[in-house]
Amino acid sequence: MIIKRYIVNDMREALVRAKYELGKDAIIISQKTVKPGKWYNPFRKKKFEVTIAIEDEIHEKNKTEKEAINKILFEKSRKSTEKATVEKTEKSKGRHVFGNHDSTHKRWKDYCDRNAISENEVDYEKVRNFISEMYMENAYLKELGLCKINVFVGPTGVGKTTTMAKIASKEYLHNDKKVGLITIDTYRIAAVEQLRKYAKIMGIACETVNEPSEMKSKIQKLKDCDLILIDTVGASPRSEDRIEDVKAYVDQIEGEKNTYLTLSMSTDVDTNNAVLKTYRSLSYNGIILTKFDEVRNYNNFWNMMENNVLPIQYFCYGQNVPEDIEESSLENVLSYLWRELINE
């Protein structure tokens, strides 16, 4: 018998986590309320400690199945994380907070001169004030919020499907939303499978659209959902034909929708700028930034500060679904970057 304890916000979270880690046959054997944290902290939140068990043989069988699923889901990421780790150890330490983003660095110098502060003594408050003063129009200060229909577009491998799965499980688990998924990623069978597996783990509906003309009926099928998330095939900024293919599907969506352009922090700034341009034909109105964990310079972040006026809705920093995602408020992004820089 395998026994596991989970500290969770509610029973549903315990069940989803247990189902994912131990398999669908896991059963609850006990539950009690607890208040984790130091006893003298008056702000401790009430949580549940749930004990879940599963028979050894059934667990062995489920484990093999889960390993097969993980192989499909995380193969690519493992490779890219390994690459990033090698690069990290090769990079020298003590890099400046602005990396080599020249124009931001110049603005910082001007700001320090004007305020009679030392440009080398960088601390969180100073950077926060600098950004608030210099980038009043910056994208992190704008809020978009999820629509009923949300489409995820962007280059290949940036993390569209993974991010969608993160949002789906967060909204389902923490915000009690009824979520439906649609994939129009019909170029690769594996990609459709990837989303289906996520949907199966979470127990939510997933529809596949094979032709633009099917889009309306598939959305109609999910009309009772609070949230519909639509995955698309990745298209490099150089293959405008592919972007046009995606557009043919997206154009079929009626009514209000958000279209999120997903960009990876580990792509170079010039390429991301090209993506921002080429994808304009898809009329995206929000941005998601992924793979913060893979880089040791935040040039893309400073570039977004300088040149992008659209809201950035989420930022992602790892392959774990649903943990490695956060709302992209300026405060959240800055404190993430700060933690990472200090830990270097």
Ligand X SMILES: Nc1nc2c(ncn2[C@@H]2O[C@H](COP(=O)(O)OP(=O)(O)OP(=O)(O)O)[C@@H](O)[C@H]2O)c(=O)[nH]1
What residues make contact with ligand X under the rule CB under 6 A? 74, 76-77, 81, 156-162, 185, 191, 234, 290-291, 293-294, 316-319, 324
Which lies closer to ligand X via its Cβ, residue 133 or residue 244? 244
Nearest to 98 by CA among 340, 297, 305: 297
Which lies closer to Mg ion via its Cβ, residue 151 or residue 191? 191
- List binders of Mg ion among 138-197 (CB under 5 A): 160-161, 191
- Which entry of ligand X, Mg ion, none binds 294, CB below 5 to 8 A by partner kind? ligand X
Nearest to 2 by CA among 31, 30, 22: 22
Which lies closer to ligand X via its Cβ, residue 225 or residue 316? 316
Cβ pair 212, 249 in contact under 8 A: yes
Which lies closer to Mg ion via its Cβ, residue 191 or residue 330? 191
Which lies closer to ligand X via its Cβ, residue 7 or residue 86? 86
CB of 75 to ligand X, least distance (A): 7
- Which entry of ligand X, Mg ion, none binds 314, CB below 5 to 8 A by partner kind? none
- Which entry of Mg ion, ligand X, none binds 62, CB below 5 to 8 A by partner kind? none
- Which entry of Mg ion, ligand X, none binds 293, CB below 5 to 8 A by partner kind? ligand X
Number of amino acids touching Mg ion (CB under 5 A): 3
Q: For tokens 């408050």, what's the residue?
A: 125
CB of 17 to ligand X, least distance (A): 19
Report the half-sphere exposure of 223 (CA within 13 A, side-chain side): 6
Burial class (CB in 10 A: 0-12, 13-18, 19+), 29: exposed
Residue with CB nearest ligand X? 234
Helices (H) and strands (E) counted in the chain, each on its own, are 11, 11
CB of 153 to ligand X, least distance (A): 9
CB of 316 to ligand X, least distance (A): 3
Say how many residues make up the chain: 344
CB of 63 to ligand X, least distance (A): 20
Which DSSP letter does residue 212 get? G
Alpha carbon distance 194, 21 (integer Å) = 17
Which residues sit opposite 150 in a β-bridge? 229, 258
What single string gives the DSSP state of each residue in 198-245? HHHHHT-EEEE--SGGGHHHHHHHTTT-SEEEEE-----TT-HHHHHH
CB of 161 to ligand X, least distance (A): 3
Cβ pair 179, 217 in contact under 8 A: no
CB of 148 to ligand X, least distance (A): 22
Cβ pair 169, 16 in contact under 8 A: yes
CB of 111 to ligand X, least distance (A): 31
Which lies closer to ligand X via its Cβ, residue 15 or residue 185? 185
- Residue 326: in which H helix or E strand, if any? strand 325-327
- Which entry of ligand X, Mg ion, none binds 77, CB below 5 to 8 A by partner kind? ligand X
Task: Give me the torsion for CA of 147, 312, 92, 74, rounded to 10°.
Answer: 10
Cβ pair 316, 282 in contact under 8 A: no
Taking CB under 5 A as the rule, does residue 262 contact Mg ion?
no
CB of 70 to ligand X, least distance (A): 10
Cβ pair 192, 183 in contact under 8 A: yes
3-state helix, strand, coil in the chain (%, to 5): 50, 20, 35
- Which entry of ligand X, Mg ion, none binds 74, CB below 5 to 8 A by partner kind? ligand X
Which lies closer to ligand X via its Cβ, residue 293 or residue 306? 293
Which lies closer to Mg ion via its Cβ, residue 50 or residue 250? 250
- Which entry of ligand X, Mg ion, none binds 179, CB below 5 to 8 A by partner kind? none
Residues with Cβ within 8 Å of 87's Cβ and at least 6 positions away in sequence, in order, are 296
- Which entry of Mg ion, ligand X, none binds 271, CB below 5 to 8 A by partner kind? none
Residues at the site binding Mg ion, with contacts judged by CB under 5 A: 160-161, 191
